Structure 1
């Protein structure tokens, strides 16, 4: 199948008028100009690789959209799958946290296990290639056996080490932590301050973390750090095997990650809003310092395309480099060599979009050559080909 009259975002440039052929679920051929044979008319739209999201927290909200209102897992995962496809995401790592230890909280070990096992059971029937990003909180001593079991069974695609203890990381400013808890969860400021002090005294299970990352390395899994705030913290994470620095909260941390050969990842909502929710470094600042490699959905999958294309409109980054932030760069960081670029032999994970307006419109999405989302464009284009034939 040919798709013609499209702009192509290649790894090193944008081709203004080209055609691409799909065969056997892969990109078979790319030509500049017109194709050789019948083709779907791309109407001059932009074709880019399918988005690769290494860190999306949305699955927890789908499973429990309101406190105590748990949805059936098949329904929740299916809904997230549809949202991801409609946003142009063809490979996603759903973030599941092993953090809280509260009996009725979504982030308990057993709740996370249930979601992860459901994802594994449903994977072959989903639109997108949905994988699991297991987030191990280093203060949660109970999570190790559950996480080790899931990693050993091959149910985890990426492991990250997180530490949300106030006084460092995302909440270096304890007062900021108190304000955040009060605003986000309605917690009394005095109670939040007391809990902050209690959490600051909690032990970190670094020996446990070493065991978890050693097992992850044995399984060939990528390892990420999270909310690095100092060069010293980055060096510790690198020693533990991390190759990705997620959401560095200072330029110092991002610089050290780059020096150590780690890739840096920031949140697309941060990039879209040009603001951190907790007053830390912005994605734009990291990008303008030449230290940004990737953007991830974080808490909203719909932010990825508007964020990178917004930077293009502002003249901050060329289109092909902006696209790489959400396609080829995260694919390489995750060790996925078969996707993320428009080159012959790569998987035909594709997104056709109209980028002419303030908000991009996704017209069609293919995964391995099969349409997984369309706003009606693909059906109309196929009808036109049939009529012409």
Structure 2
């Protein structure tokens, strides 16, 4: 923590960090950041937003490239410089898969993101969420792994009666409202899914094959919605190193005991609890078992969660910021970002603190990708060259 300091960016990297003001006579641009907080650009390892950008209403499809570009802007404006679009590789039962969650659709979205990456403001990557009980989607994921289009794999099992949806009645109620379907239809589909999972002894063998391929590509492996110590033990056999959104404190503690990094949802902190009645993220932070926060379905929640933890006196600012930057970079093997240090990528955000903290500027690899009127008025432009100085 530097109460008042200066930062010099040269090209794409952080060149120098100094105490006090940055000299105003440098070439390039000087930004007056007084009253603002300079933080590393946030890294989101799990965001579900692209699916809803492509299909904002059931059955309403938007052009894939437009959806990617719109999400890109939204993430940049929320201070996220690296993001993993979490795409669901799963199918419903009896051919009732949703349009936006299927192996085929996830393959199309992954390909679109990969082909557009060089045109985007942020570093957008693919987090493939593989639904273990639906091995029919495995070929689509295997093809993407073969092509090097995936950056992370997580193992999911949304079979009701365990994991995130341990309460069957609550599950039927939630899915009925979400899909605008009758509870009777959802309940019938649910029982069919449970039966299918019980009757297929090969589902975990297929998952093991996918994990082996992902590890050969050097990708991190995560589990999803772990609910028991036994589930964590099972996931450890699959080389899982990240436990996403554990639904009980016991599972989170066991994950930590096994050397896994634990992720909780930022919306959980913003709302003051889990929307599905599972583990409170604040409770998990207080228990000392949280390493990272993820945007999940709301990118704006990431920054808010950081400052809620600070304002409540749960964590100091530098520790809270690590949950969305340094710790995430470490867990995902992103060694060139996540910290403010000379020689690292100049991925930075300028934040105005207050009752509702606001991102005023986002910089990726030394280039402003989101710059609001507040910072535009503070920027002294000498020469739009490669050397830029930021004084906070």
Q: What SS is found at the alignment partner of 1:143?
A: helix
**Which residue of structure 1 aligns with residue 85 of structure 2?**
94
Q: Hey, what does 1:351 align to over in structure 2?
A: 349
User: Do 2:84 and 2:125's aligned partners in 1 also have CA atoms closer than 8 Å?
Assistant: yes
1:370 alignment counterpart: 367
Looking at structure 2, the residues matched to 384 and 368 of structure 1 have their Cα atoms a distance apart, in angstroms, of 19
Residues 44-63 of structure 1: per-residue CA shift (max 9 Å, x gap): 31000000000000000000
C-alpha displacement of 1:189: 2.6
> Aligned to 1:107, what secondary structure does the other structure show?
coil
Return the alpha-carbon distance in structure 1 between the equivalents of residues 186 and 376 of structure 2.
Answer: 54
| SS, match of residue 211 in structure 1 | helix
Which residue of structure 2 aligns with residue 379 of structure 1? 376
Distance 2:180 2:274 in 1: 20
Displacement of 1:208 in angstroms is 0.4
Residue deviations 1:184-241 (CA, integer Å, cap 9, x gap): 2333333333322222222261000000000000000001000000011111111101
Q: 2:232 aligns to what?
A: 234
Q: Which residue of 2 aligns with 1:184?
A: 178
Give unpaired runs (5+ residues) of structure 2: 384-392
| Whole-Å separation in 2 of the counterparts to 1:352 and 1:103 | 42
2:133 equivalent in structure 1 = 139
Q: How far is 1:385 from its partner?
A: 5.6
Task: Name the SS for the 2:31 alignment partner.
Answer: strand
Residue-by-residue CA offset, 1:294-329 (whole Å, 9 max, x unaligned): 100100101000111111111111000010111111
Deviation string, structure 1 residues 135-176 (Cα, Å, up to 9, x no partner): 000011211111111012110010000000001000111122
Report SS of the residue matched to 1:304. helix
| Larger RCO, structure (CA 8 Å, separation 6 or more) | 2
* 1:211-250 map, 5 Å: 211-250=209-248
Residues 103, 316 of structure 1: alpha-carbon distance in 2 compared, 3 angstrom cutoff? closer
Match of 2:284 in 1: 286
CA contact (8 A) 1:40 1:385 kept: no
1:28 pairs with 1, 15, 34, which one?
Answer: 15
**In the TM superposition, what is the alpha-carbon distance from 1:105 to its structure 2 partner?**
1.3
Q: Does the 8 Å contact 1:17/1:44 carry over to 2? A: no
Q: TM-score, normalised by structure 2?
A: 0.92
Which one of the candidate residues 96, 101, 107 is aligned to 1:107?
101
Deviation at 1:103, TM superposition (A): 6.0
The answer as to whether partners of 1:50 and 1:89 remain within 8 angstroms in 2 is: yes
Structure 1: segments with no counterpart, 5+ residues: 1-13
Q: Secondary structure at the match of 1:43?
A: coil
Within the candidate set 153, 166, 175, 1:159 is matched to 153
Match of residue 300 from structure 1? 298
CA distance in 2 between partners of 1:81 and 1:269 (Å):
20
Aligned ranges 1:71-90 → 2 under 5 Å: 71-90=62-81
Deviations, residues 307-363 of structure 1 (Å, cap 9, x unaligned): 1111111111100001011111111111101100011111000000101x2111111
Verify the 8 A CA contact 2:6 2:18 in the aligned structure 1: yes
Matched pairs, number: 372
How many angstroms apart in 1 are the aligned matches of 2:208 and 2:242? 16
Instruction: State the alpha-carbon separation in 2 of the partners of residues 246 and 18 from structure 1.
Output: 36
Please give the root-mean-square deviation of Cα atoms over the aligned residues, in Å.
1.4
Structure 1 residue 104, shift from structure 2 partner: 5.7
- TM-score of the two chains, using structure 1 as the length reference: 0.93
